[in-house]
Structure 1
């Protein structure tokens, strides 16, 4: 092939890539335009209806000694509204106050895990196989070959697909409020995909499982106690409950403030310290057999904080809930230029995150903890 021919091929390939990118952009713009009227109708009367009355006591221990821990906005989707997290001064439980109503939960979850956000998050979850296998291995010393495993809040079943490499003889079911569990069953990631509320479905599942897992699920639930009770009902005597949640006592939570990703407002409704969760599990008839802080740490705190800050400073993307119409060429160019300029900062934050991960557990910087408890 001559140099001229090679150059022509390169130009043709580049042109095809540009056309493909333009097509994706056009499809996205049409989807956003189609969603815009519904979002404008939802927001016509403001956001007050999305919030319950503010409560004056702790939902975990009942104490009235509360203080404000955080006041922030939606830093990921940039949907309108402000959100407050209060902390109980008796038990250190952190909770959203006022809490979202049912319509509020629907509004703020919409287009995050599904719709506009489905492809983006599906790609993220699908690349974390090593993390998922690590979670599964934490059970191995206590159950060599579980017969049936239920993953609650399974999403699209990516954990179960990876966990099967650790426990090839185990039958993995998944439960989720979204259609993701049903899709995962059709794709072969789950033996059975259940759609619905765990507390409502648990009587039908009573005593069926050797392991129930909840990975970054409990903090999303409106009533964590009901979820834990449902897990006890679904487990056989001697079965294991595996829970992983953000750690509100992480030093990163205070160092980074509203830019700490695990606050994840407005989705995270409850963030409970490990001592609180251990105590409640004991009350429900569980014995905690394993507690981990270093292993579940996800080394993204500094990277995520820098990205959230850059995103907050940059002009908004084309979003159906944003006021006005689609961004013009200048706004799009400014947004791209800001992230290009911030790339060295993001790279440096990534390196620091990985260095810190080596001692995060010992230094109290771990952003999550994991408990494994046996039903007595």
Structure 2
């Protein structure tokens, strides 16, 4: 921890402004100059220093980080989240989501050429490959590869969760392996991408004609997004750079050569909004735990106060969990509370007739 603290303090010596690009004055999705401030927040998970702003386009509804993190900023804020200090904690979280992974695979099953394959599937942003391992049991005829910018994909290959674990960017892989896959999945990946539209081009490139693209992303039009404000977990600042409404995404997929076969909301929902908001609020209220980006470690009294604060919040967390799963859960779709949406689209051959989409107020 002392070694990490010294390294973080050196990197923070110039302040957090060096982690951002210049502010954008046009929507990165539709090009409109009609932008408005949407949300200002801090890093509510790692508590690294810095403030982050989300803007919303008044024409197409796209929500995006503005100013956006630079490559240096992305490296700083991702460090010790999925790897390093956070690797073991996040690995346990992802490993325990087998039911969610199984539902994702079941959503795609009706659209495969055969009910269980055979097919070659690339999971983009695979992490440690836990989805691939679970989906492989649901779809035994499918062979899974994984791609990630971290070493997680290679760890997944060594653990036998994927056939091949590719490390690097999706756009680079698309150049090397065009037309290699029958299915590409992007489960909560596009919101992290600096240019989501380039990622869609890469998906078109690596898919064979008739192949499937599966996208899960947070839904910025969820009622929870407004109700919970900065405490809504899917805002996930500073990692989430883009939040596209479903109409925008459907239109752009059609423009890039896909036909949308299915749109799902309740099926993509993860019933954690209220308990996550309660935890984020408690964690923000409690004194900080020992983190290497803090100037010095907390003392014993500080640690005791944090433990007492979190312990006092247990009833709140239990009540929020009950509301998430028992009360709000069954009504998610009807009340517009789904925190994500899923699109399943087919890659058409060049020149094929495709449906068009019109986003209100855009195009």
Question: TM above 0.5, one fold?
Answer: yes
Q: Which residue of 2 aligns with 1:346?
A: 317
Q: Does the CA-based 8 Å contact 1:219-1:268 persist in structure 2?
A: yes
For residues 69-125 of structure 1, give each alpha carbon's deviation from its aligned partner in whole angstroms, at most 9, with x where no partner exists: 000000000000000000000000000000000000000000000000001100000
Secondary structure at the residue paired with 2:104?
A: helix
Q: Does the CA-based 8 Å contact 1:139-1:372 persist in structure 2?
A: yes
- Per-residue deviation at 1:179? 0.3
When the two structures are superposed, what TM-score results if normalisation uses the length of structure 2?
A: 0.94
1:34 aligns with 2:6: no
Q: Which residue of 2 aligns with 1:126?
A: 95
C-alpha distance in structure 2 between counterparts of 1:112 and 1:283, whole Å: 35
Match runs of 1:244-259 below 5 Å: 244-259=216-231
Task: Give the number of equivalent residue pairs.
Answer: 344
Higher relative contact order (CA 8 A, sep 6+): 2
Gaps of 5+ in 2: 349-363
Q: Which residue of 2 aligns with 1:91?
A: 60
C-alpha distance in structure 2 between counterparts of 1:265 and 1:340, whole Å: 26
1:70 aligns with 2:39: yes
- Per-residue deviation at 1:285? 0.7
C-alpha distance in structure 2 between counterparts of 1:258 and 1:221, whole Å: 21
C-alpha distance in structure 1 between counterparts of 2:177 and 2:118, whole Å: 16
Secondary structure at the residue paired with 1:53?
A: coil
Secondary structure at the residue paired with 1:75?
A: coil
Q: Which residue of 2 aligns with 1:181?
A: 153
For residues 180-217 of structure 1, give each alpha carbon's deviation from its aligned partner in whole angstroms, at most 9, with x where no partner exists: 00010000000000000001110212111010000000
When the two structures are superposed, what TM-score results if normalisation uses the length of structure 1?
A: 0.91
Q: Which residue of 1 aligns with 2:272?
A: 300
C-alpha distance in structure 1 between counterparts of 2:332 and 2:143, whole Å: 34
Gaps of 5+ in 1: 1-31
- Per-residue deviation at 1:339? 0.9
C-alpha distance in structure 2 between counterparts of 1:161 and 1:128, whole Å: 11
C-alpha distance in structure 1 between counterparts of 2:280 and 2:139, whole Å: 37
C-alpha distance in structure 2 between counterparts of 1:253 and 1:146, whole Å: 39
Secondary structure at the residue paired with 2:110?
A: coil
